[in-house]
Amino acid sequence: MIVNDTNFQKEVLDSSLPVVVEFGAEWCVPCKRLEPLMVQIMEEWAGKAVLATVSVDENPELVMQYQVMSVPTLMLFVGGKPVERLGGSQSRTNIIGKFAPHIT
C-alpha cells in the first residue's frame, strides 16, 4: 500500500498489525531491487504484518519526522511506534533477522 503525509496516521500508526514502511524513490535503483524481496517476505508474513511504501520526494514531512537520510530505508512500526530500522540495500537474512522477532 502507498502511504503519504495524509494517510500515514491511519494506515501505519493506527494499524492493528505491524507495518514495514519502505521509504524510497522512483529514481532509486536499490529501492527497485528491494521491492520484489519485500513482496516475497510480506507474502510469508501475510496476516501478521503489512507493507507500506512512502515516496521521499512526495512526503518531505515524513522524511524529516522519521529522519530518513538515505533510500531505501525500512522501518518497522508496531503499535504505532518505530521499533526497528534498516538503511540502504539489505539482504533477506538481514531484514528477517531484524524484523521477525516483532512479527507474531
C-alpha cell at 13: 500508526
Round to whole Å and give the CA distance between 72 and 27: 11
Options 19, 28, 71, 74, the catalytic residue: 28
Exactly one of 12, 19, 21, 31 is catalytic; which is it?
31
Cα–Cα dist 59/8, whole Å = 10
| Catalytic residue flag (residue 28) | yes
Residue 44 designated active-site: no
Task: Just list the catalytic residues.
Answer: 28, 31
